[in-house]
């Protein structure tokens, strides 16, 4: 079997493997607007504790086996961070910060686009042991890893320990709140804390603080209800009766402000509630509605109006924009199409791609496949893309598939561009650099011709050298025989002279 055929079969095997992994990663449509990914599908433990997304729309989930990554095409697990509880994306540095059981650190892309993990807690956990980091907060140029035993602050690549125990941190507008387990709520001012409220009923810490507007902040407790802080009047008043009734009955674990001032609340075990600006429940998504479970630990609203849920059993997705068309989603950031993997007859590479990344392919590129997605936009309807490989394609191609295929791409640098036809979605692009080393030129027909030419020259040279050697040897033999004849002639001449002298005497 020839090497090219083996390469083709290997390429086919890789592509089939990718297709199988995509099938295995398909979720389960539970209702018209709900999509579930069970732990068996996404290869996680039962609980998913936290979710965040980078500027490209790639999702990161904190799970017991590390960080779960979803690029719209496939799920992958980064296991270096260990048992994780919190994950946050830092837009300034592009890092994905992770906190977990006895550890915290970050993932960052290296020169080859691979995420590498840096453990920031190796020395800290020896001097200042802690059980887990369950919250990560960005304050100015600081990254704070929050645990019950203290706050660990990353500033200019150095870790400083702050002896603040049993306290959450929340950012609302320009205010930074500290809420401790005794029910005290304070605001950070010039490195000092000023108490603004003391929750005396249940002596419980707030679980979130959200800005209602520039002058009012909503403070939510897990079971004691919610209050509103008026910054201008410096007053604390109870939130709406309906909101307090809902929290006291079902509990509040996590909450998120939606466009238009609407509020999403994740309960402990009764699903997700959507409330209007007056605090009235206008929609409820629970197990009966199609969710895989009831406990919602964290939420993320993506650019297409879909609400991602980190659940106590897997990951769920609610198409909130379709389920609640009266909500105004105009303020969401634009979505983005992504290049998720590149396959060829030479290799197969899967990675979360960012704008301007370059894939270098060394060898004779007979076959190229580029896969892409638009996270959040493809789960409930067929999706249409247009793409172009600049330097190879002369026109844009429209497709309902999530890949582009090319044959016989010559050496050169190309820019692959893809964009969804959905309005407001930003195109994704990536550079493809094809470089066939000069020595691989000999592997094809030109190499055969050169080989034949060299072999013919070698044979001709060998024959010429043999001819010269034979001629030289023949000349040497002739010279030796000539000398022998001349010697014999001299000896005969001497004998003849001797005979002549004897006869004369």
- Listed residue (84, 140, 127, 81) closest to 105, CA to CA: 81
pLDDT digits 0-9 by tens, 360-372: 888 888 889 998 8
Task: Give residue 505's pLDDT.
Answer: 63
**Which range, 38-47, 352-361, 362-371, is most confident?**
362-371
pTM of the model: 0.77
Structure token pair of residue 388: 């172009």
Residue 16 has pLDDT above 50, yes or no: no
Question: Mean pLDDT across the stretch 293-308?
Answer: 93
Task: Give residue 254's pLDDT.
Answer: 96
Residue 217 has pLDDT above 90, yes or no: yes
Higher pLDDT, 334 or 48: 48
- For all residues of the chain together, what is the average pLDDT? 83
Position 494 confidence tier, pLDDT thresholds 50, 70, 90 = confident
pLDDT digits 0-9 by tens, 87-146: 999 999 999 999 999 999 999 987 666 789 999 998 888 888 899 999 999 998 899 999
Question: Mean pLDDT across the stretch 464-487?
Answer: 72
pLDDT > 70: what percent of the chain?
85
* Beta bridge partners of residue 312, listed in sequence order: none
Is the domain spanning 338-442 CATH 2.60.40.10? The answer is yes
- Residue reference for tokens 């992994």: 21
Question: Mean pLDDT across the stretch 152-167?
Answer: 89
Structure token pair of residue 378: 């493809």
Burial 49-83 (b: 16+ CB within 10 A, else e): bbbbbbebbbbbbbbbebbbbbbbbbbbebeebbb
Long-range contacts of 443-449 (CB under 8 A, 24+ apart): 443/3, 443/364, 444/364
- Cα separation, 366 vs 86, in Å, equals 44
Residue 354 has pLDDT above 80, yes or no: no
38: exposed, middle or buried (C-beta count within 10 Å: 0-12, 13-18, 19+)?
A: middle
Second-level CATH architecture of 49-165:
7 Propeller (2.130)
Contact assessment for residue 257 and residue 172, using Cβ atoms and an 8 Å cutoff: no
Sign of the four-CA dihedral 145, 149, 150, 152: negative
Position 260 confidence tier, pLDDT thresholds 50, 70, 90 = confident
- Listed residue (247, 285, 284) closest to 268, CA to CA: 247
Least confident among 165-169, 355-359, 417-421: 355-359
Instruction: Count how many residues are written for the chain.
Output: 505
CA 403 to chain centre: 18
Higher pLDDT, 238 or 471: 238
Question: Mean pLDDT across the stretch 454-479?
Answer: 72
Task: Give residue 124's pLDDT.
Answer: 85
CB atoms within 10 A of CB 163: 8
Domain ranges of the chain: 49-165, 338-442, 446-504
Position 78 confidence tier, pLDDT thresholds 50, 70, 90 = very high
- Cα separation, 84 vs 369, in Å, equals 34
Task: Give residue 281's pLDDT.
Answer: 94
Strand (E) or helix (H) holding 7: helix 3-24
pLDDT digits 0-9 by tens, 309-337: 999 999 999 999 888 888 887 777 777 88
């Amino acid at each position: 079997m020839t090497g090219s055929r083996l390469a083709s079969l290997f390429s086919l095997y890789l592509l089939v493997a990718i297709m199988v992994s995509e099938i295995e990663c398909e979720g389960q449509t539970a209702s018209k607007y709900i999509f579930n990914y069970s732990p068996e599908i996404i290869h996680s433990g039962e609980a998913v504790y936290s979710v965040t997304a980078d500027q490209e729309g790639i999702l990161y989930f904190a799970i017991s086996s590390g960080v779960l990554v979803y690029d719209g095409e496939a799920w992958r697990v980064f296991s270096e961070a260990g048992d994780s509880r919190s994950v946050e994306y830092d837009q300034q540095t592009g890092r994905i910060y992770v906190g977990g059981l006895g550890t915290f650190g970050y993932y960052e892309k290296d020169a080859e686009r691979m995420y590498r993990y840096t453990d920031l807690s190796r020395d800290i956990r020896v001097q200042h042991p802690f059980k887990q980091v369950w919250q990560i907060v960005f304050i100015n140029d600081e990254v704070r890893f929050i645990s019950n035993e203290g706050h660990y602050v990353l500033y200019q690549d150095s870790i400083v320990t702050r002896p603040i125990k049993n306290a959450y941190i929340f950012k609302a507008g320009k205010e930074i709140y500290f809420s401790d387990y005794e029910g005290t709520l304070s605001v950070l001012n010039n490195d000092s804390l000023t108490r603004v409220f003391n929750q005396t009923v249940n002596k419980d810490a707030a679980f979130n603080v959200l800005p209602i507007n520039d002058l009012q902040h909503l403070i939510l407790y897990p079971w004691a209800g919610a209050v509103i802080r008026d910054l201008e009047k410096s007053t604390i008043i109870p939130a709406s009766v309906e909101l307090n009734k809902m929290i006291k009955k079902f509990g509040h674990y996590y909450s998120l402000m939606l466009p238009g001032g609407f509020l999403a609340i994740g309960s402990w075990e009764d699903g997700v509630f959507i409330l209007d600006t007056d605090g009235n429940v206008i929609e409820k998504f629970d197990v009966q509605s199609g969710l895989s479970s009831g406990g919602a630990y964290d939420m993320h609203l993506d650019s297409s109006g879909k609400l991602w849920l980190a659940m106590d059993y897997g990951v769920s997705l609610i198409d909130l924009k379709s389920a609640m068309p009266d909500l105004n989603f105009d303020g969401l950031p634009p979505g983005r199409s992504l290049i998720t993997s590149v396959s060829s007859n030479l290799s197969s590479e899967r990675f979360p791609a960012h704008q301007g990344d370059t894939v270098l392919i060394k060898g004779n590129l007979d076959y190229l496949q580029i896969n892409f997605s638009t996270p959040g936009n493809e789960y409930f309807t067929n999706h249409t893309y247009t793409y172009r490989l600049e330097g190879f394609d002369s026109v844009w191609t429209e497709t309902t598939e999530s890949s582009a295929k090319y044959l016989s791409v010559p050496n050169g640098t190309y820019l692959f561009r893809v964009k969804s036809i959905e309005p407001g979605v930003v195109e994704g692009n990536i550079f493809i650099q094809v470089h066939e080393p000069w020595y691989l030129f000999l592997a094809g027909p030109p190499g055969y011709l050169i080989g034949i030419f060299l072999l013919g020259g070698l044979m001709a040279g060998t024959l010429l050298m043999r001819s010269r050697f034979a001629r030289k040897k023949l000349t040497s033999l002739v010279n030796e025989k000539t000398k022998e004849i001349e010697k014999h002639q001299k000896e005969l001449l001497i004998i003849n002279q001797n005979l002549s002298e004897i006869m004369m005497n």
